[in-house]
Amino acid sequence: MPSYVSHLECSYTGKQFEIGGVRTVSEFGKPLLVRYDLDRLGMGVSREDIGSSSEPGFWRYSPLLPVERKRDRISLGEVITPLVPLERSAPSLGAEPGKIHVKDESRLPTGSFKARGLALAVSMAKQLGISHLAVPTNGNAGSALAAYASRAGIRTTVLCPDNTPEINLRETMAQGADTNLVNGLIGECGRVISDGSEEVGWFAVSTLREPYRIEGKKTMGIELAEQMGWDLPDVIFYPTGGGTGIIGMWKAFAELSELGWIDCELPKMVAVQSTGCAPIVRAWESGEEFAEYWGDAETVASGIRVPAALGDFLILRAVKESGGFAIAVTDEDSLEARRQIGARDGLLLCPEAAATAAACKIALEEGLISTSDRVVLFNTATGLKYPLPEVTKRINKDEVDFGSFRLR
């Protein structure tokens, strides 16, 4: 299949760069975005071609991805992640049954949406001949990079804050990565990787510090549109740390619109953060273009514990252009939403996804969205990767009180 990539573009200035070779950020220190010859793509590929593709999962969207050769596409058996309606738990959020759907990214390899971005980053690393990758991570990006890089035969080094969930550390190491704890937050991990690049020779696949992870994340948007019959929901609530999910989906919607594959109103994009780490929300409420560093960041939702995001202005731009908003929720509200949805609809959300449910409830209560809106929440990882409530009830097999099992 021919490549439709035309060039790379600085996301802030619009300056263009030739495709090819190993790239990081622009000379202005801003993320580079992959651009495509959409006119040529539109003449050579149709929505029907996508629908009839035999490629696994998000690789069906290869015409809109930068990997040129099929042999460089690293796959672990990706699937189309389902849209699961909230039925019995919807009233607890103030919504009508069936109006809220969860796109369950936990079905992907390594159990999180990070598989999308890291599959693309690793595939491009293979295409470009890179032999050693490094990443700072709060957990899921490390395990996804480890898995895909091991599959590709590429060495991997992962640096994690010392409060990273234990299961993430163990799965990352088990899948072949040199896994290390750092006495700091994700930003300090990133700095160590940046400082060691020349001496060690690794290539950093930190969030938005190379052009290709975002291309994997944008497949969430393409996939969502295809699942909805090339339509889109009214509102998307997305847990926001580094921001590649929101940025990638907004990029996807723009490309699909230009191709003429969708002809609908684009959804309001809602960036959801924790009150313990909410730099994007603070910037949104202040009307700022960039977000200031959030000191002493702390939240049970480790995936959105990102005190500073390189793509902050891109997140805020997507939120503004879409008519959306940014909102922060407490850990207590997130965990209660997780409990309600798990007990009533059987979906075990990760804390980050639970934050989107809590945010949706607040948005409905405050009239920020309508009860008639079609809403999609993203469950970005399996809840099994995070601490769960302890089971404390015990039964003496010799003295069973069966009355305790009756409904009260």
Q: Count of CB atoms within 10 A of residue 95's CB?
A: 21
Whole-number pLDDT of residue 26: 94
Q: Could you write out the DSSP letters of every residue in 304-331?
A: G--S--TTHHHHHHHHHHHT-EEEEE-H
Whole-number pLDDT of residue 408: 65
Largest CA distance in the chain: 76
Whole-number pLDDT of residue 1: 65
- What are φ and ψ of residue 171, in 5° steps? -70, -35
d(C-alpha 385, C-alpha 172), whole Å: 12
How remote is the C-alpha of 249 from its chain's centroid? Answer: 10
- For the chain, the structural domain boundaries read 83-108+213-385
Whole-number pLDDT of residue 186: 87
Query: Three-state DSSP class for 170?
Result: helix
| Per-residue model confidence as pLDDT tens digits over 124-175 | 999 999 999 999 998 899 999 999 999 999 999 999 999 888 899 999 999 9
> Which residues of 46-129 form beta strands (DSSP E)?
83-85, 100-104
CB 335 within 8 A of CB 300: yes
Whole-number pLDDT of residue 103: 98
157 bridge partner residues: 134, 178
Q: Which residues of the chain have pLDDT under 50?
A: none
CB 107 within 8 A of CB 137: no
- Give the architecture-level CATH label for domain 83-108+213-385: 3-Layer(aba) Sandwich (3.40)
Give the burial class of 332: count Cβ atoms within 10 A of its Cβ; 0-12 exposed, 13-18 middle, 19 or more buried.
exposed
CB 177 within 8 A of CB 146: yes
Does pTM surpass 0.85? yes
Query: How does strand 375-379 pair with strand 268-274?
Result: unpaired
